[in-house]
Amino acid sequence: MPLDPSGSFVSTDGDNMLRGLYRDNSDHVTVGTGEDDLASTTVTANTVGATGTLFVTAAGTTTAGNETKTIKLYLGTTAIATVVRATTNAQDWLIWAKISNTSASAQRIEVIYSVTDAATLSFDYITAAENTATNLTLKITGTCSTGTAVITQAKFEAFIVQIQ
The full set of domain ranges for the chain reads 22-162
**Residue-level pLDDT, tens digit, the chain, 164 residues:** 344 455 544 455 555 566 778 888 888 888 878 899 999 999 999 988 889 999 999 999 988 777 889 999 999 999 999 998 887 778 889 999 999 999 999 999 999 998 777 678 899 999 999 999 999 999 999 998 877 888 999 999 999 987 66
Q: What is the pLDDT of residue 14?
A: 56
The CATH class given to the 22-162 domain equals: mainly beta
Helix (H/G/I), strand (E/B), else coil: 101: strand
Rounded Cα distance between 111 and 123, Å, is 6
Q: What is the pLDDT of residue 8?
A: 47
Rounded Cα distance between 161 and 21, Å, is 10
Name the residue type at position 160. I
How do 78-85 and 69-75 pair as beta strands? Answer: antiparallel
Q: What is the pLDDT of residue 18?
A: 62
Q: What is the pLDDT of residue 1?
A: 39
Half-sphere exposure of 9 (CA within 13 A, CB side): 7
Helix segments in 6-107, DSSP class H: none
Rounded Cα distance between 116 and 142, Å, is 16
Q: What is the pLDDT of residue 34?
A: 84
